[in-house]
Amino acid sequence: MLKMTHLSKVYRTEVVETYALRDFNIDVKEGEFVAVTGPSGSGKTTFLTIAGLLETFSGGEYHLDGIEVSNLNDNARSKIRNEKIGFIFQAFNLIPDLNVFDNIEVPLRYRGMKGAERKQRIMESLERVGLVSRAKHYPAELSGGQQQRVAIARALAGGPRLLLADEPTGNLDTQMARSVLELIEDIHRDGATIVMVTHDPELAARAQRNVHIIDGQVVDLAEEPRFHTHADAAAQTHP
Amino acid sequence: MQIKPILTALRHHKAGTVLIVVQIALTLAIVCNALFIIHQRVAQLSQPSGLEEANLIRIQNQWVGKADDKAYGSLMATDLATLRRLPGVADAYATNSVPLSGGGWSMSLRLKADQSAPSAQTAIYFSDDHTLSTLGLKLVAGRNFRADDIRPMSAKDDLLHPAVIIVTRTLADKLFPTSTAVGKTVYLANHVSTIIGVVERMQTPWLGMSWGSAASTLVPFRLLTDGTNYVIRTQPGQLDRVRRSAPEALFAQNRMRVIPDQHGVETFRQIRADAYASDRGMAILMAVICVMLLAITAAGIVGLTSFWVGQRRKQIGVRRALGATRGDILSYFLTENLLIGMGGVLLGIALAIGLNLWMVTRFEMQHLSLWYVLAGAVALLLLGQGAVLAPALRASRVPPVEATRSV
């Protein structure tokens, strides 16, 4: 489903080149639930933004659902994001000016879906996250947990093959975090591939597989345990 | 289209939206009416006088010292002979007034002697057999004055009774709409006159008279008084030369005269420019106001949209992450502006018509043509789209990764 080979991401300024990802390799199979862990600044979020086609990469290959994405133009990338990928962000990222219904409708409109089908999908996904009664509420009128469930409903409505979650429970209390995680597990059971970036070892333990990133590279903890002395080490910098 | 969610989102930005709507509405109302006024003024400016204006000079001559009427007659005849002999002069005549000069005589005309209400009002131009050729007036029916038609008239004679007159087509059509005017008789004061000729057009000395700008009558009189206007038509290319040589020749002929420094010797071009100075000034002022208002409105739209783009950067990133193309984002801001613009234009149309109705009752303005309102509305919508383009393009370049950045 998601395969990166020798992938690199370099941020260049006039004086330095900073590798966010270096010789990065990962293969997530269809239907897998993978948790990506690692210290802050290790490249987790960069990996997720590249996986979600939010950013381009500097070298290597990335196949998403069998498509090599490095040569796709902006519109083609938008179309893949819209049709194949669902995003769940730590900060929920709902549009404050739109109510719950309209928020979930946003990606469906970009797909050019007809009104009746949009409505059906929105109501189904709202039902799934248990927020049908909140359809006309604005994000500011909802709790954090409810907002995240709306964000999940928005991701679900498009019927994505791949769900990318960036610290989905990072802004939630334990109880809300648990219900959001149960929802994600539920979606996984229905067949979606899930890649979740998290700090939380407890959350990571719920995934089928854990991938650990340190200094922009995938580290196999089972085979090659190593201590990282600076938990918050920044990505390696090359002048 | 994304009209419904855009309208929903705009409800959360009421203050900015209302400000721009009101600004567009006021601009439309003022610009429509201003353009209408400009159009009227320009139409006024471009009215033909009926004269071949390019080579005409007017000299205002004032005799010094007292003389009797007979002496004025011979002084005038000598002056005209001098002017007509002058190199570069094609023809010349003496008159009380010329079109657009702002001063002259007017009288009422009757078709019957015992008629109480006049049939028409007319400007009176004292003329002779050289008038048509000097002014370049086009005779469309009948004949010109002959030398033996011309009679002297003293300023003391308060009753005008010309045997023959020439009228403009405007006046002829008004007096005799169904038949030819030549040969017909009319009453000027209480004296009957026969129309012997019709000229195509000759404007009156005044602008904006209710009875029309081209109802003029030529009477075959030489007015014997201490002040007169000499009108000279020069040969092509001789205007500047004659402008200098004519007053010199007149002074050489007789020094007992005053030709005022200001407006004493004027080309017809100057007379026209003076006559329409206020119209032209008004048109320019209105145009400047229009341009400034449009610029302020465009700047307002650019400012507000730029602010909104900055404010919604994260939201734009989220939309891009959810599958919006650059085109979708561009179209979002263009559509948003179009909706605001349409709100402003609808309100503006009502205001424009209201403002015009108010001016119709207060300042006797004409009713605004709806074409102005429609053209103004379209122009403002286009202006809005033009103004929003740069910030909208900037919005479309917000990368999708913006969605993951914390605010």
**CA dihedral (B118, B120, B123, B126) positive or negative:** negative
Q: Contact, B105 vs B111, CB < 8 A?
A: no
Structural domain count, chain A: 1
DSSP A55: S
**Residue A159's pLDDT band (boundaries 50, 70, 90)?**
confident
Task: Answer whether residue B289 shows pLDDT above 60.
Answer: yes
**pLDDT mean over B347-373:** 87
Task: Answer whether residue A239 shows pLDDT above 50.
Answer: no
A75 shares contact with chain B (CB less than 8 Å): yes
Residues B352, B307, single domain; the answer is yes
DSSP bridge pairs for A11: A18
**Residue A169's pLDDT band (boundaries 50, 70, 90)?**
confident
Q: Is there a contact between A45 and B322 if contact means CB atoms under 8 Å apart?
A: no
Contact residues on chain A for B8, CB-CB shorter than 8 A: 97-99, 102
- Min mean pLDDT across A38-42, B51-55, B57-61, B324-328 is at A38-42
Contact residues on chain B for A81, CB-CB shorter than 8 A: 321-323, 400
In chain B, the residue whose alpha carbon lies closest to the alpha carbon of A97 is B9
SS3 A8: strand
Interface test with B, best of A45, A54, A102, A162 (most B CBs within 10 A): A54
pLDDT (0 to 100) of residue B51? 94
Contact residues on chain A for B5, CB-CB shorter than 8 A: 98, 102, 105-106, 109
B9 shares contact with chain A (CB less than 8 Å): yes
A55 shares contact with chain B (CB less than 8 Å): yes
The minimum CA-CA distance between B26 and chain A, rounded to whole Å, is: 28
**Under the phi-then-psi rule, with left for phi > 0, alpha for psi from -120 to 50, and beta for the rest, what region is A46?**
alpha
Note whether residue B140 is domain-resident: yes
pLDDT (0 to 100) of residue B158? 63
Q: Is there a contact between B399 and A54 if contact means CB atoms under 8 Å apart?
A: yes
**pLDDT mean over B5-21:** 88
**pLDDT mean over B5-33:** 90
pLDDT (0 to 100) of residue A53? 94
Note whether residue B261 is domain-resident: no
Distance CA A55, CA A47 (A): 9
* A28 against B210, higher pLDDT: A28
The minimum CA-CA distance between B401 and chain A, rounded to whole Å, is: 5
The minimum CA-CA distance between A169 and chain B, rounded to whole Å, is: 15
Contact residues on chain B for A45, CB-CB shorter than 8 A: 404
Residues B163, B241, single domain; the answer is yes
Note whether residue B37 is domain-resident: yes
Contact residues on chain B for A48, CB-CB shorter than 8 A: 404
A32 shares contact with chain B (CB less than 8 Å): no
pLDDT (0 to 100) of residue B1? 57
Note whether residue B260 is domain-resident: no
The minimum CA-CA distance between B22 and chain A, rounded to whole Å, is: 22
Residues B394, B294, single domain; the answer is yes
Note whether residue B291 is domain-resident: yes
Distance CA B73, CA B231 (A): 16
**Residue B226's pLDDT band (boundaries 50, 70, 90)?**
confident
Task: Answer whether residue B178 shows pLDDT above 50.
Answer: yes
**Residue B370's pLDDT band (boundaries 50, 70, 90)?**
confident
* B407 against B316, higher pLDDT: B316
3-state SS record for chain B: CCHHHHHHHHHHHHHHHHHHHHHHHHHHHHHHHHHHHHHHHHHHHCCCCCCCHHHEEEEEEEECCCCCHHHHHHHHHHHHHHHHHCCCEEEEEEECCCCCCCCCEEEEEECCCCCCCCCEEEEEEECCCCHHHHHCCCEEEECCCCHHHCEEEECCCCCCCCCEEEEEHHHHHHHCCCCCCCCCEEEECCEEEEEEEEECCCCCCCCCCCCCCCCEEEECEEEECCEEEEEEEECCCCHHHHHHHHHHHHHHHCCCEECCCCCCEEEHHHHHHHHCHHHHHHHHHHHHHHHHHHHHHHHHHHHHHHHHHHHCHHHHHHHHHCCCCHHHHHHHHHHHHHHHHHHHHHHHHHHHHHHHHHHHHHHCCCCCCHHHHHHHHHHHHHHHHHHHHHHHHHHHCCCHHHHHCCC
B287 shares contact with chain A (CB less than 8 Å): no
SS3 A49: helix
End-to-end CA distance of chain A: 35
Counted across chains A and B, CB pairs separated by less than 8 A come out at 84
**pLDDT mean over B44-70:** 89
Cα B255 to Cα B56, B57, B228: the distances in Å are 24, 20, 16
Residues B305, B227, single domain; the answer is no
pLDDT (0 to 100) of residue A71? 87
Contact residues on chain B for A102, CB-CB shorter than 8 A: 4-5, 8
Residues B223, B91, single domain; the answer is yes
B136 shares contact with chain A (CB less than 8 Å): no
**CA dihedral (B170, B174, B176, B177) positive or negative:** positive
Q: Is there a contact between A99 and B8 if contact means CB atoms under 8 Å apart?
A: yes
**pLDDT mean over B216-230:** 92
Structural domain count, chain B: 2
Contact residues on chain B for A52, CB-CB shorter than 8 A: 321
CA neighbours within 13 Å on the CB side: how many for A46?
29
Domain range for A227 is 2-238
In chain A, the residue whose alpha carbon lies closest to the alpha carbon of B398 is A54
Q: Is there a contact between B324 and A110 if contact means CB atoms under 8 Å apart?
A: yes
Interval A98-153: pLDDT, tens: 999 999 999 999 999 999 999 999 999 999 888 999 999 999 999 988 999 899 99
Maximum C-alpha span of chain B: 103
Residues B112, B33, single domain; the answer is no
Q: Which domain CATH number covers A216?
A: 3.40.50.300
**CA dihedral (B141, B147, B149, B151) positive or negative:** positive
Phi, psi for B63 (deg, rounded to 5): -75, 145
Q: Contact, B231 vs B58, CB < 8 A?
A: yes
Distance CA B41, CA B29 (A): 19
Residues B190, B160, single domain; the answer is yes
Residues B386, B285, single domain; the answer is yes
Q: Contact, B148 vs B106, CB < 8 A?
A: no
In chain A, the residue whose alpha carbon lies closest to the alpha carbon of B326 is A75
The minimum CA-CA distance between B27 and chain A, rounded to whole Å, is: 29
Note whether residue B177 is domain-resident: yes
Cα B364 to Cα B28, B349, B367: the distances in Å are 21, 21, 9
* Option in A52, A91, A106 nearest B406 (CB): A91
Q: Contact, B265 vs B9, CB < 8 A?
A: no
Q: Is there a contact between A96 and B328 if contact means CB atoms under 8 Å apart?
A: no
Task: Answer whether residue B365 shows pLDDT above 80.
Answer: no
Residues B248, B292, single domain; the answer is no
**Residue B279's pLDDT band (boundaries 50, 70, 90)?**
confident
**pLDDT mean over A33-56:** 91
Task: Answer whether residue B91 shows pLDDT above 60.
Answer: yes
Nearest to B332 by CA among A73, A87, A95, A151: A95
DSSP A229: S
Q: Is there a contact between B319 and A96 if contact means CB atoms under 8 Å apart?
A: no
Note whether residue B284 is domain-resident: yes
B3 shares contact with chain A (CB less than 8 Å): no
Neighbours of B405 (CB within 10 A): 13
Residues B86, B116, single domain; the answer is yes
From chain A residues 106-135, the ones with a CB under 8 A of any chain B CB are: 106-107, 109-111
In chain B, the residue whose alpha carbon lies closest to the alpha carbon of A110 is B324
Quote the mean pLDDT of chain B. Answer: 91
Distance CA A50, CA A28 (A): 14
Tell me the ipTM for this assembly.
0.89
Note whether residue B391 is domain-resident: yes
Distance CA A52, CA A91 (A): 16
Residues B19, B71, single domain; the answer is no
Q: Is there a contact between B404 and A97 if contact means CB atoms under 8 Å apart?
A: no
**pLDDT mean over B263-281:** 92
The minimum CA-CA distance between A225 and chain B, rounded to whole Å, is: 31
**pLDDT mean over B147-166:** 84
**Residue A50's pLDDT band (boundaries 50, 70, 90)?**
very high
Q: Is there a contact between A54 and B12 if contact means CB atoms under 8 Å apart?
A: no
| Chosen domain end from B255, B289, B314 | B255
B227 shares contact with chain A (CB less than 8 Å): no
Residues B380, B293, single domain; the answer is yes
- Min mean pLDDT across A210-224, B200-214, B298-312 is at A210-224
Neighbours of B304 (CB within 10 A): 22
How are strands ordered across the β-sheet holding A209-214?
Answer: A85-88, A162-166, A193-197, A33-37, A209-214, A217-219
Task: Answer whether residue A96 shows pLDDT above 70.
Answer: yes
Q: What's the predicted TM-score (pTM) here?
A: 0.76
Contact residues on chain B for A87, CB-CB shorter than 8 A: 321-322, 403
Q: How much of chain A exceeds pLDDT 90, in percent?
A: 54
Domain range for B372 is 3-45+278-404
B326 shares contact with chain A (CB less than 8 Å): yes
Task: Answer whether residue B33 shows pLDDT above 60.
Answer: yes
